[in-house]
Structure 1
Amino acid sequence: MIFQSLFIVFTFFYLLRTVRNIFYQLFLWQLKEYRWDRMYIHLKTYQGKKLVFGKISLIKWFAIFLWPFFESVGIYYFYYPYFPILIFFIYFTEGTLYLLEARSGFKMPKFTPKTLGVITLTVLILIFSYFNFITFSPFGLTLLLLDKILPLIIASFILIFSVPSLIYKKIIYMRAGLKRKSLPELKVIGITGSFGKTSTKEFLFTLLSSKYKVVKTNDFINTEIGVAKSLLSDVSSKTEFYIAEMAAYKKGEIKLISKIVAPDIGVVTAINEQHLELFGSIENTMKAKYELIESLKNNGIAIFNGNNKYCLTMEKWAKEKGLTTIIYGTNPQTARDLIAYDIKTYPDKLTFKVKKGKEVEAFDVQVLGFHNIENLLAAIALSTIENMKLREISMVAKKIRPFKKTMEPIEGINKSLFINDTFNVNPESVSAAISYLQQFKRKKILILQPMIELGDKTDKLHEKVIEEAVRVCDYIFLTNLNYHVAIMNGARKVEKGEKKVKSGTSEEIVMLLEGLLDPGDVVIFEGKETEKIMKRLLSKNKK
């Protein structure tokens, strides 16, 4: 009876961890957009290494390799009686940890035909493998082997599914390209850059929509397939402007998007080290983003951020190509065509003046952070091309609000202020968040997901932003231990700076913040991992 009860408990825990791991690994593949290069980079981080070399994982490998060793030296009878106990202990411990994790919710993939197909085939292969392994290995060893080959099974099916997925994408690209050719009067604006793309797109949409029929890529859609589907489903013969946000992780991807949508105007918002590990160098990043400008027709217009030195270099390339170029910014020496000055930042808005030739106009816009000046200027520059005067643009700009998950203000717990900046995290976004916090008198708190895919600049950039953060913030909470040595090196550059930096699980950070926050305190959430913490805190507001 006791044996049967233990077996039921064991089976429950084993099935729980198997289902959870299938879901988690598919979630991770989706997060990395099914890209092998991004998954490889993830596996090099502390989080990635923990998946393979975590304590429980190492115990499993130890148990697997001990079995053939004892068998080969003829003393497996010594190991065998204790083996089931070891297996029960491993999966009981792991199952208990996953039950605790389940309280805040497993990380789940989006259930698409592809993920459902992978799940179904993975389960079938696990069942098939079980009945094959059990014929030549003990029950416990069979379960360990199935456990360790699970990532390989999922990766194999993702590779297999990539073939029909590629065929499907090619068909969508072709259909989207044909539709674009059937709409010669449609004016397409392409927006790319290392950061600032989404905000610029949303600001521009608000401005142009006041006068024209405009369609944009929704939310954060910016890949080849996302843009192609958007063009097919959202654009009609009545559409006057189509705004396409374009992203890339390597050269050739923006070229493909541009081939599909045939842009008339191209904007490069900024270039930095974002995804440097994928591009290989800043030069490659510049060349990849410049594919948008290269795709423009001879009468096309290329717009660049004069505050960014890499954009200024790209503007020279565009002029050599014979394109009309426009430069915007806040620096009088580089912002040749559109400049913002007399800039004032407030907790809930920005005010500034814009000069274009002889036109001068004051702006009052309810977005947060000095960095948004650049995104607003890009949108204003584009609007002036389309026969909108600065006065008209200034009036419409009053309707602009922060886009979701990009410096979005939310009422926090205990009458504190939360800033949701969870969509992305890069060196500029963190620096901008820190700069925004400087204007507050109460406690200033940064919840930070360490940055990824920064290549050989990773340690240097983490040191830099953390040094900035400890000079301004009262507390910094890290969601994981990636690049922790570099982070603490940065913190130690400021006296007692390391005491401000803490790391922990989501649950631990939530508990600390609950007891820490008072009215008027400000918390900025930087990066996707921090959204879970923010949501758990906000859920307590509703109770």
Structure 2
Amino acid sequence: MIVLTLTEITEILGGELHSTPTTLSATDTVSGLVDTDSRQITPGDIFVAKPGEHTDGHNFVGIARAAGAVLALVEHTVEEDIAQIVVPDVVVAIADLARAVVARVRAEGNLRVIGITGSNGKTTTKNMLAAILSAQAETVAPRASFNNHVGAPLTILRTTFDTRFLIIEMGASHVGDIARLVSIAKPDIGIVLKVGLAHAGEFGGVERTVLAKSEMVTPLTENDVAILNADDYRVIGMAELTRAAVRTFAVDGDNATFRAADVRSTRTGTDFTLVDAAGAEHPVHLRILGEHHVYNALAALSAADALGIATADAIAALGTLERAERWRMEVLGGRDDVTIINDAYNASPDSMAAAIRTLAQITPRDRRTVAVLGVMTELGELAGDEYDRIALQLVRLNISQLVVVGAEARRLHITAINEGSWDGESVYCEEADAAFEYLSTAIRPGDTVLVKSSNSAGLRLLGDRLGEFFTC
């Protein structure tokens, strides 16, 4: 974070400073990182005592102080020897502090802010763009999937006057969430990847999802750039809602600013030809599996071009990225030529369908495909139809073996059996341990295995176990 005195922070937050002779005082400065997790605190940092559903951050102020925190943002004072600023709501406070910090850096530096949203692909696109931009200048990007009303401000607060690029991943569960994040960060470039059914149940339908995602581009000015997926009619329709200059990317469309041609997927990655606005062609190799990640790469390359970065340099930087993210199309295994694809960090109908297509595409015809699938959360009343659609896809793509894990996903198993004339090709397991016991003997040499579910199912850990079991 930029250097601020405790008085400045207190004024920004409209809070009340409490200090003692043995703690920092009003005129002292801080410039450490800001975090809600006491386990992440290092000397000089600021700890945010955020109340939670199961734990209260105020109970961890002492642990944070012992780890080196010099200031705590609290909603009531605690009996710990550390400077404390009391505010009515610490979550609102970190948003206010982030807004002030990014405004000061923008005013005195050369900061460019890029916001990314979409039902799928945000984290992968963030990582791709971070690989490109960090090769050019100091870049701040979220760790993991820090994309909500807490994570995004914490990312912004890592910005300093040396930061050239700030990437903000913006997720949402309700209409208005992205608008609040945009009001804090004020992006120069806003990227919308896709409008799908992820969180559709929570939003109240796909049209409400469209409204929420459009909040990325509606506040942009004529000096900003909106980067939109031209293959998604709901996304490209947002061009009419923004004053920003619009750039597009596509795989299917011919009129996009950046488009991909000759897409090819293998076990070692994904290749395509980038066709830019001038019609020039550039070969691209991603070490990340899956044709669906071509869209993420196009979005990242489009943003890099808008920032004035040479396409050749951007492509070279993309080629260094070994994986999308932990538990996202992560390739494990290797023993007996068994490939485990652990993609169980999250799952929506679109991302699950894309992962299954990838499984079919990258597996040689003489080898077996195994899909280990769990629950897709937050679909509401759409869940039944979407499980049926995925089951039909599994049958049509002739997936060799289906293993469904967990009661919430059992419909997938039942529908797959009803759709296909299978004899044991679909197996249902109540929990992950049972699935591991089955798969450890059922997987054959040469198999390609996909593990996919929403995070809550915990199948990412099953994927890790399988990867370790089949490690050379």
| TM class by smaller structure | 0.7 to 0.9
TM-score (structure 1 length as normaliser): 0.67
Residues 162-221 of structure 1, C-alpha deviation per residue, up to 9 Å, x if partnerless?
xx9971111111111111110123211000010010000100111111212211011111
**Equivalent residue, structure 2, for 1:177:** 99
Aligned residue pairs, count: 385
1:116 CA displacement: 4.4
Residues 70-120 of structure 1, C-alpha deviation per residue, up to 9 Å, x if partnerless?
xxxxxxxxxxxxxxxxxxxxxxxxxxxxxxxxxxxxxxxxx9875445999
TM-score (structure 2 length as normaliser): 0.76
- Residues 497 and 353 from structure 1, CA distance in 2 versus in 1: closer, same or farther, beyond 3 angstroms? farther
**Equivalent residue, structure 1, for 2:338:** 416
Q: Is 1:385 matched with 2:306? A: yes
**Equivalent residue, structure 1, for 2:462:** 533
1:410 is paired with a residue whose SS is: strand
Residues 353-408 of structure 1, C-alpha deviation per residue, up to 9 Å, x if partnerless?
11112232111221101111100000010111111222222222221221221101
Matches of 1:476 and 1:323, distance apart in 2: 46
More strand by share: 2
Q: Is 1:354 matched with 2:283? A: no
RMSD between aligned alpha carbons? 2.5
Matches of 2:308 and 2:214, distance apart in 1: 26
Matches of 2:291 and 2:274, distance apart in 1: 15
**Equivalent residue, structure 2, for 1:511:** 437
**Equivalent residue, structure 2, for 1:442:** 367
1:498 CA displacement: 7.3
Q: Is 1:267 matched with 2:191? A: yes
Find 2:291's aligned residue among 363, 370, 378.
370
Matches of 1:485 and 1:113, distance apart in 2: 37
Matches of 1:275 and 1:266, distance apart in 2: 21
Give 5+ residue unaligned stretches, structure 2.
1-48, 60-85
Tell me the amino acid that sits aligned with residue 206 of structure 1: A
1:182 is paired with a residue whose SS is: helix
Could you tell me whether the CA contact under 8 Å between 1:198 and 1:219 is conserved in 2? yes
- Residues 366 and 201 from structure 1, CA distance in 2 versus in 1: closer, same or farther, beyond 3 angstroms? same
- Residues 196 and 118 from structure 1, CA distance in 2 versus in 1: closer, same or farther, beyond 3 angstroms? closer
1:442 CA displacement: 2.1
Could you tell me whether the CA contact under 8 Å between 1:415 and 1:520 is conserved in 2? yes
Matches of 2:247 and 2:105, distance apart in 1: 26
Residues 319-367 of structure 1, C-alpha deviation per residue, up to 9 Å, x if partnerless?
xxx321011011234x421111011111111111111122321112211
Matches of 1:479 and 1:301, distance apart in 2: 43
Moved more, 172-181 or 404-413: 404-413
Could you tell me whether the CA contact under 8 Å between 1:415 and 1:518 is conserved in 2? no
**Equivalent residue, structure 2, for 1:209:** 134
1:297 is paired with a residue whose SS is: coil
**Equivalent residue, structure 1, for 2:246:** 325
Matches of 2:237 and 2:352, distance apart in 1: 25
Tell me the amino acid that sits aligned with residue 241 of structure 2: W
Could you tell me whether the CA contact under 8 Å between 1:419 and 1:525 is conserved in 2? yes
Q: Is 1:288 matched with 2:209? A: no
Give 5+ residue unaligned stretches, structure 1.
1-110, 121-163
**Equivalent residue, structure 1, for 2:264:** 344
Could you tell me whether the CA contact under 8 Å between 1:354 and 1:361 is conserved in 2? yes
Identity %: 23
Larger radius of gyration: 1
Could you tell me whether the CA contact under 8 Å between 2:332 and 2:471 is conserved in 1? no
Find 1:231's aligned residue among 156, 162, 168.
156
Could you tell me whether the CA contact under 8 Å between 2:218 and 2:241 is conserved in 1? no
Residues 507-531 of structure 1, C-alpha deviation per residue, up to 9 Å, x if partnerless?
2111111111232211111123212
More helix by share: 1
Tell me the amino acid that sits aligned with residue 196 of structure 2: N
Matches of 2:87 and 2:388, distance apart in 1: 40
Could you tell me whether the CA contact under 8 Å between 1:462 and 1:487 is conserved in 2? no
- Residues 247 and 273 from structure 1, CA distance in 2 versus in 1: closer, same or farther, beyond 3 angstroms? same
Tell me the amino acid that sits aligned with residue 162 of structure 2: K
